[in-house]
Structure 1
Amino acid sequence: MIAAYQAPLFVLSFRQRDELASLAAGAGWQVVAARRAGGAERRFLSSGAAVAVIDARGATEDGLSAVAMLSGAIEANGGALLALVSRGEVGTIAALFEAGATHFLASPFSEAEFLQALRFAARHAERLAREWAAGPVFATLGWRYDLAGKALVLTPGLMELLGLERAVGVRALLRRLDKGDRAAAVAALRRMSPARPATAFAHDADGIGRMVQHLQWDQTTQRIEAVVEPLGSVPEPAAEMREALAGNRDASNARRWLTRQLENSREEPLHMMLVALNRFEMVNTAYGRSAGDALLRSAQKRIDDVAREMLGRDALVSRMGGATFAVAARAPRLRIDLAVARIAAELARPFVTGESIAVLGCRIGLAEAREEDSAASLLRRASEALAEARESDSATMRVADADTDGEPIDRLAVELNHAMDRGEISVLFQPQVSVSTGAIVGVEALARWEHGVLGTIGAETLFAAAARADLDIGLSDHIQKLVLAQAAAWPTSLAGLRLSLNLTAGDIARPGFADLFLDRVDSSGFPRSRLTLEITESGLIEDLGIASNLLSVLRGAGCRIAIDDFGTGYSSLAYLKALPLDYLKIDKKLAQDITGSPRDRIVVRGVIDMARSLGLTVIAEGVENEAQLEALAKEGCQIYQGFLCSEPITLAALVALMAR
């Protein structure tokens, strides 16, 4: 009997490999069969199959492990996974489903039943492929409101559609509606209750037309979630941008995003990476599904932050299923390599899960799009690279069909000395805002490298390259001179602002640095009294006695001292006891937790209370929305900086911002 399916099929059976392979081959499938789980993910991907069969009969634990091993590749590539179970072990179906199986068949079964199950699985994969190739869906327009934390989050697509450049609060959003529509929105929110968890209301939106917002109250998470449905046609430019930015919702949108990118050839190459968390199943098993879900949200936030900073707003970030994420962008290979390194470093940092700490790490597969690639083939090549990385004992990343020419930091290190000579190192300024008055009271100077090929490179990567090239002291001197020269020439509109300048651990360890630095400040003409020197808590200052003496000299000379990124390292209390400080800057990751769980808020409150008890002014970094600012203000934070006011900007943009 020959079936219509002349397609690849992957079969893993620990005891009946040949029997199952013969049944499928007789029906026209091109079978790749295995008896051992080792290398199964790579073999499945290289087979080109969209359907995998895992025979768990009489080998439940091995079957569960194999399903979990293949689930990421199945979900990322839009496939189907048929699990075979013994009739007496049907209770394992729930566990297999949780592990990633999409279809099930219990034995004993006939040849016809097995082949029919294969057909159902193949149709499932075909349906996914059709959905992924379909046009945009409006479900990418929506918002979520956390009732406990009072935090409102809009999808990127909705923000773009409404013309918003940064996060807004509930009141700001309601003010965009006319009086009648505003009343309808408030009434809809008020009528929601445990007995009535879903409702809707309609309103007009300028330039878009009539819209319906479908609201649902999730009692478990205490959140209100909304899907926004435009009743008319979305303006085309906004629709295109919405799709590009909101394509980070799920695997279907990711596939469509990739398809559009591949259809439109551009100068920069398209790169696709798949990022899989290590040991994630241990968290689910040990702490439960809710803890696992919270960890996945934290992981995606870290990946989002790196992608936004290093690859731009147009980059795709998507959870493909399980603990696997996709990141794609058009950028030079070196910038992609730097982003890979940063993502790996961020995911290597510990995660908090309940009362415990989980250290996971990740493996990454990277592929560069070829001219003949479709979204499916590009994803599959990235999946193959990820499978190779997982099989490796030590490699975090593997690249599909490509050779590397050295670590990215090493390549940048070679270029850095010439970059300083060519004037490629520049300075941006991020405003610091008084919480009580809303006035800009100071700025932090942040170094950037305007690379001829890679575009803008941030300070973290810049100093990492300098350390590799043994140029960290030279780079620090170069930036200090640059910042002081610009600040000394500020117009009168900036005359009242404080200037925050970062010192490195290398600066503090240099003999005679205090005299050298003060001479540099005085030669520039910038007043010492308006200068704040920031030291990084995680800057590996080994001798706090030397650091304390140096900073005491600088403070006695009129400068002020701030500890930066407080909350990221392990020596926090020792720093507070030993160093002469005026300001404590809460790290952005800690500050953003203020709208998280009650436990998160207690930690931030404790830091602020401790700092104020020591007479320190508290500055919160990374404040992105009004909910975070409101919560920080209630806890006693005095100054903030972050995207809520402004991203780091040029001197000209700063002058214009002060004028407004």
Structure 2
Amino acid sequence: MTALPRWMHIRLSVRFILITLILLIFIQTIGFWIVQTAVERYVRDDIQHSIAVSERVWNKLIIQNHQQLVEGAELLASDFGFRSAVASKDENTISSALANSAQRIGASVAILVDQQWHLKATSKDDMMKSSKLVSLIDELAATRQEKGEEAYITALYSGAPTQFVVVPVKAPRLVGYVIMGFAIERDMVAEASDLSGIDVVLMSNNGASSVKVMASSDRLEEHFLQDIPGRFFLEDLAFDMRVAQETFVSVIHGQEVIGGFLSLAFMKSLEEAGTQFDELFHQYLVITLIGLVIFAVAVTWLSRRVTRPLERLTDATGALQEGNYDVEVSGVGRMDEVGALARSFDGMRSSIKDQRETIFKLAYNDALTGLPNRLSFRQKVADLIESGEVSSLSVITINLDRFKQVNDVLGYEMGDEILKATATRLLGEACSAQDKLARVSGDEFSVLVLPSEDTPMKIAQSLLARLNEPMEIDHNLIDLSASIGIASWPIDAQQCDALINASQVAMYAAKRRSEDIISYKSEFVTSTPESLSLLSELRQAVTNNELRVYLQPKVSTVDHRVIAAEALVRWQHPEKGLVPPFKFVPFAEQTGFIRELTKWMIRSLASQWQGLQLGHEVFRVSVNLSTRDLLSPTFPDFVQQTLHDFQVPTTGVCLEITESAIMDDPTFAEQTLAKLSNMGFRLSIDDFGTGYSSLGYLKRLPVNELKVDQSFVFGMIEDNNDRTIVQSTIDLAHNLGLEVVAEGVETEAMYLALRELGCEEAQGYFIGKPMPVEEFIVWRDQWHKEHGLA
């Protein structure tokens, strides 16, 4: 299972509060950013608008100065005295008039030139010999001629940007031109800045001297003096300029003028422009913080209102987990979703409680009769044994006889009615307490008997007498009987399960013996824990070739020659060693695995049969067949095919059958024996005299020999009755044309007596024990040598 993130271990209420607050802060942050972006955009737009206004203000000032210069120059040019002085060429008068006029209108310089633009007089005497002034006049003349008489002319004069106007002087014909210049000073830059609220910077460069800067503030003047790129005088630029720690939105216009370059910058600080919104931001932040606090309190209250009922539901869940289904669920009266959840949970609790009671009842009670079931009865017995309240107790197990027949004939509904009637009878007879009686399986009941009551045998007899009375159900008179087993603690068993099992074993023993009541005895148990895994081990033994063929010799009593042998199976277990036949052959017969053992034996014998032959006489090998072999329709074909594969004649194999094997299904067994006889097999009746109706079937069976049971051979020397039985059996066989083989020959006296009675073959430990095939061949040669038969 994937580990949860660490934050998922935080309580739901805390997570709800944190997530909600984080979401609110995130939304407020986005809102703050949007407002700030909008304000910044607004500030920039406002600055751009202010810069545009400042540009118009500047242009207006330039135009005003230009008009003022034009008016002053025209006034001077039209003055009669000035025109007379120009006509008389009185240089002093002209210079005086120029100086007075320039002073009157605030012009920085006034110049008179003739019609060929030759310098005639200036407002300042020291300017007459200046070569720069001559060059300036020539450039002014060229610019006026190029741009027209109304053109605005700007030039760098004495390092300062100056506006110039040119007005003709006529008396009455053109006699010259008055040139007036108005220097752009710092106070004009400051005035433009004050009028528009924008910082203005005017920079000039004549290409020879250093840059001159006139700014509306000292910090901007210092900045431009320290770092002024040359392009500021050549291009129109719009960008953000960093000055110290402030950002200025800047627009710069550059132009080339007479004598150099000019740049005019309009600038506004973003920080200064945004100060009007600082208080708004502070208020917004304060409101946001107050809102967060209020929201946190509200969310905490709401979270507690939602999660508190959930916590109570969690506590109720813990109580349910511990098995307390009566716990009170709070919040069911609320009309919101939490109330709906609480009501649903309370309904689930009630449903689980009802289901638990139903399941408990089904788990510990029989649905048909209402009696306790096997689990409940076992728990009752176990509690009594473990509590030490009693020193002994008994269990009676009752099983109805012929109940399956009733179900088959009358149907299962009638069977159910019989079971309910049986439970009623048992409850009314020595079982007044219901917890002492239980229905443990289909038609099986168990009764608990305590030491304070009658003896188990008397109670069992009383129950049996009650059950033997006919039952009338749906106008049908039903006559049933019962088989009863009794087991007691601590005599028959030490533990609860063993006690109940012992009573069932006794009940099955009573059913097998057709007795009514039987008390448990240890000899009833025929199986052992080891036998539970025996079948799988036997299968493995066949697969892994752990089985061995042993041969016990059969000798002719006439000439002592070994003429046949009985094949017996042995198991060479890899861990347990050689396992005796009585430990696995009966189990194989019970489970049906004996058929596989028989097939293995026949295949193994067929593969070794050729090695057992001597001379021209066929050496026979006998194989024991079980009931299941005779009842298998494919067995004769299997034997015939196996012998054919190994080229073994059917006369070389003798098949031995017990009388009891024939009696299980006489008709089918007779058919199988007839088929085997027709195939040429020699047939023998094993253990003759111990079965049922021997003589009645003997006359119809196609057998070739009889084997006298060893129980009669053992006692024939000491007991004349046994000798008479052996003699009679031999005579009977001979009269029927059969040969006789005696088994269990333990002494020479038995051997000689059988020879005297006319028994053809003898088999037993006196002659030889069962031995492996290789040892048998060696033993046979030695036997023949000892009796002069080599």
Instruction: Please identify the structure whose Cα radius of gyration is greater.
Output: 2
TM-score, normalised to structure 1's length? 0.38
Higher relative CO (Cα under 8 Å, sequence separation at least 6) belongs to 1
TM-score, normalised to structure 2's length? 0.32
